[in-house]
Structure 1
């Protein structure tokens, strides 16, 4: 009987051996960047000069970031975009999921797939498509507003001049918010639809027998049952919205648009590192953004905390 050429693996070490590829990748691509970024936040470093060119500057990078007008403007833009795109997502996704859940049976998967399609589509493709739609002269959005303005009673929808969505500071943020809202609406709808399917149908049958209409069922049964999923969805929107990068970066050509109206904090971090070659300040910005995300996450958690459970 031939012996195996491979050494026999001890059962005690087998789990560690099988987990080692994941642990190695996690350390290299997960832990190391975090530790290096934290170390870099206290250094002054231009990458073209090599690692030996690092110079310890203490808290100077953080002090500079906190006094930087562009940082505060980017943070204000980020909060504006996260709120304008995130809040309507949930206000629309919840009743939309309820409508799909109650109105579609056999074709439900097809309808959900259509709404979910924007989420899995390439961000670059979506941004390029909306760049065309937002075109001042020939964009379909301006053409649609003009057509609606011709309908009696809707003349107020037609602007006197075509709207320059991506070149005027007051229009950049609404345009970006519309793109983000359109892309992530389907994702939130799928979340709430999955939660709706866990609610027992007997509750709705009992409510119907008691004379409760669809609106009463939605308000007194559906919404309370969806609270855990609403918390999860809002938390994802908070964290994702404060890290917004791809959509505003592509729509504004990586510059943030006129008067930096569309520059998010993630974009400013990118420009600080790769355009201004200041990786120390960029790392400090990233940790300040982390603290801000953690603070808003805590506030969101407090808002959804069950007050009755505390008493």
Structure 2
């Protein structure tokens, strides 16, 4: 009987352990959730705000691009008709041309000047920290306020023409001619972004091994040769980043044109001949002046496609081929060896 009783107690203990194991396994997920819940709650405000003010407007604008809506009444589904109208809109194509012209006139010299400034700041110059702060100030200054200032500078009797006349050059029609309008906007963009990109390039320069500069100095390389044979190949990833971000910013030009040439008349938006009309300015006009929100949403998505296309093109152009990359690596090895 004792043996039977003993054997009878074994499964009872085993079944208790098994039940306890099941309860422990059931409680384990709840325990993990209790441990991870506070961090998730701490970061949740960002994701909630992003979902409300970031993700939702993006998806809603895509939905809106297939609708005809004035912002108040009922929406009417029109399918791809908004995109069809947009591709036949001569003002839209004119705004694309203006945007690309301004982007080219501003981005190319701006990146070159930023690279030169970064190279000079990387040298042993006095008050380098003060220069870095001074170069970055335009990027954090209100562009609306500075556009008003530049509007006075580029007026027919403004500071720019006064300086040109002082050196014997006739005044330029900055705000009335096609070339003058694009040049004025490009100068404002260069003024705003050259310091920002110079600091980006400077950060990349400081990551280049000093042995490369010493090897170039031993080989008798001039500053120009050092810039284009040492700095530029080493800064290729940084240059790629600067080119892509400048492309994104350059194709979204709005404040400069809107403040300089604001008008209640749609026919004069963007200045004389609408030479300052950019894609984003035209989007703003159709959406918030003409209350064609579906049309503006379609324009925004076409702008997104253009930015993505040109970002890919710039990436291919700046990154170069594998053969160029291998050639640059071989040259850097020669430089390290003091050749």
- Name whichever of 63-72 and 87-96 sits farther off: 87-96
Q: Shift in Å at residue 306 of structure 1?
A: 4.2
**How high is the TM-score relative to the length of structure 2?**
0.81
Alignment of 1:87-102 (within 5 A): 87-102=108-123
Contact kept? 2:69, 2:76, Cα under 8 Å: yes
The answer to whether structure 1 residue 214 and structure 2 residue 223 are counterparts is yes
Runs of 5+ consecutive residues of structure 1 not aligned to the other structure: 1-8, 150-157
Q: Shift in Å at residue 135 of structure 1?
A: 1.4
Q: Which residue of 1 aligns with 2:199?
A: 190
The answer to whether structure 1 residue 142 and structure 2 residue 156 are counterparts is no
Q: Which residue of 2 aligns with 1:121?
A: 141
- Name whichever of 211-220 and 16-25 sits farther off: 211-220
Alignment of 1:270-309 (within 5 A): 270-308=284-322
Q: Shift in Å at residue 216 of structure 1?
A: 2.2
Contact kept? 2:239, 2:318, Cα under 8 Å: no
Q: Shift in Å at residue 200 of structure 1?
A: 1.8
Q: Which residue of 2 aligns with 1:27?
A: 51
**Match among 251, 259, 267 for residue 281 of structure 2:** 267
Q: Give the distance between the partners of 1:74 and 1:252, measured in 2 at CA.
A: 14
How many equivalent pairs are there? 288
The structure 1 segments of at least 4 consecutive aligned residues displaced by more than 6 Å after TM superposition are: none
Task: From the superposition, tell whether residues 164 and 215 of structure 1 become closer, same or farther in structure 2 (CA, over 3 Å).
Answer: closer
Alignment of 1:198-209 (within 5 A): 198-209=207-218
Structure (1/2) with the larger helix percentage = 2
Q: Give the distance between the partners of 1:174 and 1:116, measured in 2 at CA.
A: 22
Q: How well do the aligned residues superpose, as a CA RMSD in angstroms?
A: 1.6
Q: Which residue of 2 aligns with 1:155?
A: none
The answer to whether structure 1 residue 166 and structure 2 residue 180 are counterparts is no
Runs of 5+ consecutive residues of structure 2 not aligned to the other structure: 1-32, 264-268, 327-339
Q: Deviations over 1:201-236 (max 9, x none)?
A: 222122222322322222221111111111000001
Q: Which residue of 1 aligns with 2:26?
A: none
Contact kept? 1:169, 1:257, Cα under 8 Å: no
**Match among 246, 250, 265 for residue 237 of structure 1:** 246
Q: Deviations over 1:222-274 (max 9, x none)?
A: 11111111100000111110011111111112520011100100000000001
Q: Give the distance between the partners of 1:278 and 1:191, measured in 2 at CA.
A: 39
**Match among 36, 56, 77 for residue 12 of structure 1:** 36
Q: Give the distance between the partners of 1:208 and 1:35, measured in 2 at CA.
A: 55
Q: Which residue of 2 aligns with 1:37?
A: 61
**How high is the TM-score relative to the length of structure 1?**
0.88
Q: Deviations over 1:70-112 (max 9, x none)?
A: 11011111111111100101111112211121141x5111011
Q: Shift in Å at residue 293 of structure 1?
A: 0.8
**Match among 72, 76, 95 for residue 48 of structure 1:** 72
Q: Shift in Å at residue 19 of structure 1?
A: 2.1
Q: Shift in Å at residue 296 of structure 1?
A: 0.7
Task: From the superposition, tell whether residues 168 and 217 of structure 1 become closer, same or farther in structure 2 (CA, over 3 Å).
Answer: closer
Q: Give the distance between the partners of 2:129 and 2:143, measured in 1 at CA.
A: 23
